[in-house]
Amino acid sequence: MDNQTLMTTWCRMWNEDPALAHEVMTDHCRQWSAQTPGLDTVVGPEEQETFATTYRAQHVNLFRPRLLADGEDQFAYLWDVTLPDGTVWTGADANIVQDGRVDLNWTFVCQQHDDGPDVGAELTDATTLDRLCREWILLCNGEIDTVTDIVTDDVRVFVGVGERATELRGVPALTTHLEQQRAAVPLTTGTVHRRPITDPTRGRAAILWTAHSGTGDDDVEAGGIVLLNVDHGRISHAWLLPGARKFIY
């Protein structure tokens, strides 16, 4: 199963047929949710089918995949979920693939909706994508002097944290946001978790990252994700979804 099919079938598993877990998950597939530990103990398709069946009896939510970043042995995508009352939230998933099935999954959600238009694909070489991923992390760590080399002048960034969402438009808005974040939590640093997901065909990338706040015994960790869309060698769109927990794998 290719990654685009995995993406749509994974959503169908939650939307309509939990038994699809046996098609999209390896026997030892694990999941991690950025908000709660509810999925930590669910391993493999049989346990997932039971979990998703119970979940759907309580929450009739409909997931719609949006932008895909396909890194072959790993992939990430943006999605929307419509709740029973019609409210729409935006989230993202990252996945490690083994033999055409999802082996590891990380999921993030913001309780607000990104209502911006989806963006088209643009061929971008892998070297540029790797560089932009590294530079994005440096940017978020406070190295903002080169911001105009990294993002387009009209960059659009969706920042979704819990029940809050912020839309940043343009370099000045992004720079101000980063400066305010650094001033509020000066000891926070971000590091790449595992390795970036890069998709040269679509000109997209995704980074799982860990935010470290404090020092020594006071250090607090939380995992997050950012999806990046590239336009002519610079980041034109970013979807930034911090989590409330640290990664467990």
The predicted-structure confidence for 142-182, as pLDDT tens digits, reads as follows 999 999 999 999 999 999 999 999 999 999 999 999 999 88
Question: Do 87 and 153 fall within a single domain?
Answer: no
Residue 110 has pLDDT above 70, yes or no: yes
pLDDT band at 216 (very low <50, low <70, confident <90, very high): low
Question: Do 12 and 67 fall within a single domain?
Answer: yes
175: its two tokens: 């720079």
Residue 171 in contact with residue 153, Cβ under 8 Å? yes
Q: Which DSSP helix (H) or strand (E) runs through 131? A: helix 126-140
Question: Do 91 and 168 fall within a single domain?
Answer: no
Residue 215's pLDDT is what? 66
What domain range is 25 assigned to? 3-110
User: Which percentage of the chain shows pLDDT scores above 90?
Assistant: 90
pLDDT band at 185 (very low <50, low <70, confident <90, very high): confident
Q: Is the pTM of this model over 0.75?
A: yes
Question: Do 95 and 137 fall within a single domain?
Answer: no
Give tens-digit pLDDT for 113-138. Answer: 999 988 999 999 999 999 999 999 99
Residue 117's pLDDT is what? 85
Question: Do 98 and 186 fall within a single domain?
Answer: no
Residue 240 has pLDDT above 80, yes or no: yes
pLDDT band at 213 (very low <50, low <70, confident <90, very high): confident
Residues contacting residue 205 through CB under 8 Å, at least 6 positions apart:
69, 129, 132, 133, 196, 197, 198, 199, 227, 228, 230
Provide mean pLDDT across the span 90-105: 98
Residues contacting residue 131 through CB under 8 Å, at least 6 positions apart:
none
Residue spans of beta strands (DSSP E) within the chain: 25-33, 62-70, 74-82, 88-98, 101-110, 151-161, 164-169, 189-192, 197-199, 204-213, 220-231, 234-242
Residue 92 has pLDDT above 90, yes or no: yes
Give tens-digit pLDDT for 42-77. Answer: 999 999 999 999 999 888 899 999 999 999 999 999
CATH of the domain at 163: 3.10.450.50
Residue 217's pLDDT is what? 66
Assess if residue 121 is contained within a domain: no
Question: Last residue of a domain, which of 49, 82, 110?
Answer: 110
Question: Last residue of a domain, which of 69, 84, 110?
Answer: 110
Assess if residue 18 is contained within a domain: yes
For the chain, the domain total comes to 2
Question: Last residue of a domain, which of 110, 144, 165?
Answer: 110
Question: Do 89 and 130 fall within a single domain?
Answer: no
